[in-house]
Chains A and B, each alone.
Chain A
Amino acid sequence: MNAVQMLNITKKFGDLVANDNVNFDLRKGEIHALLGENGAGKTTLMRILYGLYRADSGEIWINDQPVQINSPRDAINNGVGMVTQHFTLVPPLSVAENIVLGAVKGFTLNPKEIEKSVAEASEEYGITVKPSALVRHLSVGERQRVEILKALYRRANVLIMDEPTAVLVPQEVDGLFNSLKQLVEKGLSVIFISHKLNEVMAICDRVTVLRGGRLVGTVERAGTSEKDLAVMMVGRETFGVERQGIKETGDPVLTVDHLSLTDEQGIDKLKDITLEVRHGEVLGVAGVSGNGQAELVKVLTGLQKPTNGQIILNAIDIAGASPSAITIAGMGRTPEDRHAGVVGELTVEENLALESLEIYLNRGVLDRKKIRKQAIEMIADYNIKASPEDKVRTLSGGNMQKVVMARSLSRNPSCVLAAQPTRGLDVGATEYVRGKLLEQRDRGAGVLLISEDLEEIMELADRIAVIYEGRIMGVIPAAEATEESLGLMMAGVTEHN
């Protein structure tokens, strides 16, 4: 018996074929992994099933009946629920209001009654939530439970989970897996989107692998191994950047000294952070999303003034300095969200020039020939697939990231700050960006890599710092780090001095 069948699904975005004639089926009562790298088309396929996208061609069958799914409402009516990567909750509303949103009939709404009915559902499915709490006060893990309950409340018997563990610490993941196993015993079928092999092997019954928008194949978990899956996923045995061993490191280039930040509501976002980045090394800062990384990046890039502490870059205190002053002091900056680092409506060459306008001025007027000439050089150097006059918003994530990096690295900064540099990029672009960062290290620059991707940190960093709730839990040499020890630090369980 099939809960879901998706037949010959094709979806294009402009020239990009996100799904190319993909087939997928989900049996009742199984946990089925949808495995693939970033950009393989997993999320697109599931957004089609949930009615958030429309396929250009193909059919969807649910419970062996053909169905039309044109909107999430259709999906819900067919018993399909989805927990997306970016939660679709309304933060100022209560948990109960979020859960019943769009799911209750009638004109009036009694807060007591909906809280009661949500509490009952919480009991029934064994998912603990506090119905009257406002969602904006909840932690990420709690919000995820609200999302799951929201789907179950709508009588979902197929639950799509899009990279649910990306936002959780390793220890929280176990809780999630236990809940899913219990729900499956009660008859739920689960589609589990992931690019992490160990998770897939830990929980799933079958695995469907996508690569570059195409179906590679579907296998039973019992008949496969992590190694086999890896080959299916990337299409070759190994990938990633070759580590070149630990190099001799020099003097500190960047010293962060007792840095703290308190926000407008009086909440401490960064607590007494002390870090040192030396010439010729990569210092990785690991941590689960939302533990102060965003704030640390903002302070280091000059977008936010710290409450206390010093940031010494090449013997200059840049704490509270403007972004341009920090750039001039020798910091090459890559923002956390690359869309926030570029101006989409401006062209590639304008974006490339924006950080260093002073060198393009000719008696007060912009030297457009020089801007063009430099842009052409940078586009060639950084292998950016765009022309100088293209608007940046039309570029792919990888090319946008290359624009940001080309702009900052072309100044030969003595310290490179890279925040989530490969998030959302495809394999090729990821490799390219990582290679460029190592190139900077080998050139003698100090690289501060802030990333939520633990594999990336393990692969690139010479030393690893872990941030938890705005505090540095410790700094350890990469050679001594294991995923487990880092996981405990990321969960705030252990400290390392």
Chain B
Amino acid sequence: MSKLRLEKAPAPAWVRPVIPLLAILVTFLITLIFIAWVQANPLHTYYYFLVAPFTSTVTMIELLVKATPLFLTGAAVAFAFRAGYYNIGAEGQLMAGAIIGSWVGVMLEGFSSWIALPIMIVGGFLGGVAWALIPALLRVRLKVDEVVTTLLMNSIIVFLVSYLLNGPWRDPVSMWPQSPDIAKSAMFFTLIPQSRLHFGFIIGIVVILTIWFVISRTAFGLKMRAAGSSAEGARFAGVNVERTILVTALVSGGIAGLAGVGEVAGIHFHLIQGLSSNLGYTGIIVATLGALNPFGVGIAALFIGLIDTGSLTVSRAMGVPVYLGQVVQATLLLVTLSMFVLTNYRLKREG
């Protein structure tokens, strides 16, 4: 009797860049089930998902708007993961950056943008760092698993934001649970007039270039990669693994904080509870699709931005719930993960 068996056989080098494309194909095949459920025409659905956003300048710019925070959360996650620090807390760190941004932004009334913008950026970065600090310290000092603590920190900040918005920061005019608008000078300028595409996009590009440089061209980058793939090997070679991980974790938090400041200063201009809408968790998808490579992260963020934009188009045009986008993204994550592994195996017939 012949039997099929998986056998380890590394995929040829040209396969790896193709994997994400194959994964996208497989993902859309799987998500057919959910589209069939609402009896929508799959071809129309995919047209609105993937093609329609490119047919107008407005939606193309919107794609870049959606990708902007994902550049940053994706970069934050990828940076931390490269050092073997599983920062799942980008969601909370982003909110912390947003809190500082909306606080500082109000106080900067009367200052020029030349002063206000750098303060906003630094403030948002530090906000993210602060929220990343406790899990990072617990990990390097007491070996407490950062996955659990960063997740719990994500839950805690929801209550902090709720307190601020229902308490001291509640907008005295509207009485909505949102903070007062930040100063005009603290708002990020738009890159294209009449659009929502803001300065944060440039910050995102700069951060991606910077972490690429740090990871591949500096001693710190080599140390963090060493610490990430073999802590004991790195330690033996003289790398201070704990300090390397601590610095990486804090920088990662800071990058996520920048995403928060961007959402406040470029999109909403005040703090609201739903500001993030899972941007931190989506950052994990982006980082994985990008294979933890900074440039891969950039491309993946654009693609997820496309799906975000597309799911709105699908919803508007066909009445399919917008959450289909989230299902597609999660499926894509699972499929990509599997395919990265499976391409290292080959089916072999024996018997």
Q: Is the CB of A354 within 8 A of B226?
A: yes
Q: Could you say which of B218, B232, B237 contacts A354, with CB atoms under 8 Å apart?
A: B237
A67 at interface by CB-CB < 8 Å: no
Complex interface: chain B residues within 8 A of A324 (CB): 238-240
Complex interface: chain A residues within 8 A of B346 (CB): none
Q: Is the CB of B234 within 8 A of A322?
A: no
Output the nearest chain B residue to A371 by Cβ-Cβ distance.
Answer: B222
Q: Could you say which of B222, B226, B230, B235 contacts A366, with CB atoms under 8 Å apart?
A: B222
A422 at interface by CB-CB < 8 Å: no
Complex interface: chain A residues within 8 A of B233 (CB): 339-344
B349 at interface by CB-CB < 8 Å: no
Measured CA separation A303–B222 after assembly (Å) = 20
B66 at interface by CB-CB < 8 Å: no
Q: Is the CB of B238 within 8 A of A340?
A: no
Complex interface: chain B residues within 8 A of A351 (CB): 237
Measured CA separation A322–B236 after assembly (Å) = 9
Number of A-B contacts (CB under 8 A): 73
Output the nearest chain B residue to A356 by Cβ-Cβ distance.
Answer: B238
For A327, A335, A351, A366, the residue with the greatest tally of chain B CB atoms inside 10 Å of its CB is: A366
Complex interface: chain A residues within 8 A of B29 (CB): none
| Complex interface bits, B210-245 against A, C-beta within 8 A gives 1, otherwise 0 | 000000011100110110011011111111100000
Nearest-CB distance from B103 to chain A (Å)? 34
For B218, B236, B240, the residue with the greatest tally of chain A CB atoms inside 10 Å of its CB is: B236
Measured CA separation A341–B218 after assembly (Å) = 21
Nearest-CB distance from A299 to chain B (Å)? 13
Complex interface: chain B residues within 8 A of A360 (CB): 219
Nearest-CB distance from B344 to chain A (Å)? 13
Contacting residues of chain A (43-76) with chain B, CB-CB under 8 angstroms:
none
Q: Is the CB of B229 within 8 A of A364?
A: no
Complex interface: chain B residues within 8 A of A142 (CB): none
Nearest-CB distance from B241 to chain A (Å)? 10
Q: Could you say which of B218, B229, B236, B238 contacts A346, with CB atoms under 8 Å apart?
A: B229
Complex interface: chain B residues within 8 A of A368 (CB): 217
Q: Is the CB of A322 within 8 A of B230?
A: no
Contacting residues of chain B (306-336) with chain A, CB-CB under 8 angstroms:
none
Q: Is the CB of A366 within 8 A of B239?
A: no
Output the nearest chain B residue to A337 by Cβ-Cβ distance.
Answer: B232
A350 at interface by CB-CB < 8 Å: yes
Measured CA separation A357–B219 after assembly (Å) = 7
A333 at interface by CB-CB < 8 Å: yes
| Complex interface bits, A313-349 against B, C-beta within 8 A gives 1, otherwise 0 | 0000000001110010000010100011111111000
Output the nearest chain A residue to B351 by Cβ-Cβ distance.
Answer: A68
Contacting residues of chain A (342-395) with chain B, CB-CB under 8 angstroms:
342-346, 350-351, 353-355, 357, 360-361, 364-366, 368
Nearest-CB distance from A494 to chain B (Å)? 35
Measured CA separation A350–B226 after assembly (Å) = 9
Complex interface: chain B residues within 8 A of A327 (CB): 238
Q: Is the CB of A344 within 8 A of B230?
A: yes
Measured CA separation A311–B36 after assembly (Å) = 72
A301 at interface by CB-CB < 8 Å: yes
Nearest-CB distance from B161 to chain A (Å)? 39
Nearest-CB distance from B316 to chain A (Å)? 45
Q: Is the CB of A357 within 8 A of B222?
A: yes
Complex interface: chain A residues within 8 A of B240 (CB): 322, 324
Measured CA separation A342–B238 after assembly (Å) = 11
Measured CA separation A344–B222 after assembly (Å) = 13
For B230, B238, B239, the residue with the greatest tally of chain A CB atoms inside 10 Å of its CB is: B238
Output the nearest chain A residue to B230 by Cβ-Cβ distance.
Answer: A343
Nearest-CB distance from A45 to chain B (Å)? 20
For B230, B232, B234, B237, the residue with the greatest tally of chain A CB atoms inside 10 Å of its CB is: B237
Q: Is the CB of B236 within 8 A of A303?
A: yes
Complex interface: chain A residues within 8 A of B223 (CB): 354, 357
Q: Could you say which of A323, A350, A357 contacts B236, with CB atoms under 8 Å apart?
A: A323
Contacting residues of chain B (90-117) with chain A, CB-CB under 8 angstroms:
none
Complex interface: chain A residues within 8 A of B238 (CB): 322-324, 327, 354-355
Q: Could you say which of A301, A322, A340, A364 contacts B218, with CB atoms under 8 Å apart?
A: A364
Nearest-CB distance from B244 to chain A (Å)? 12
* A303-B235, A324-B238, A335-B236 known; A343+B219 contact, CB < 8 A: no
Nearest-CB distance from B19 to chain A (Å)? 19
For A339, A343, A344, A353, the residue with the greatest tally of chain B CB atoms inside 10 Å of its CB is: A343
Measured CA separation A407–B230 after assembly (Å) = 17
Output the nearest chain B residue to A364 by Cβ-Cβ distance.
Answer: B218
Complex interface: chain A residues within 8 A of B236 (CB): 301, 303, 323, 333, 335, 340-341
Measured CA separation A324–B234 after assembly (Å) = 11
Q: Is the CB of A365 within 8 A of B239?
A: no
Q: Is the CB of A354 within 8 A of B234?
A: yes
Measured CA separation A301–B235 after assembly (Å) = 10
Measured CA separation A303–B235 after assembly (Å) = 7
Complex interface: chain B residues within 8 A of A361 (CB): 219
Name the 4 nearest CB pairs between A and B, nearest first: A324-B238, A345-B229, A343-B233, A354-B237
Q: Can you list 11 A-B pairs with a CB-CB distance of less than 8 A? A: A323-B235, A324-B240, A339-B233, A340-B233, A340-B236, A341-B237, A343-B225, A350-B226, A355-B237, A355-B238, A368-B217
Contacts A343-B226, A346-B226 aside, 14 further interface pairs with beta carbons under 8 A come to A323-B235, A324-B240, A340-B232, A342-B233, A343-B225, A344-B230, A344-B233, A345-B229, A346-B222, A350-B222, A354-B223, A357-B222, A361-B219, A365-B218
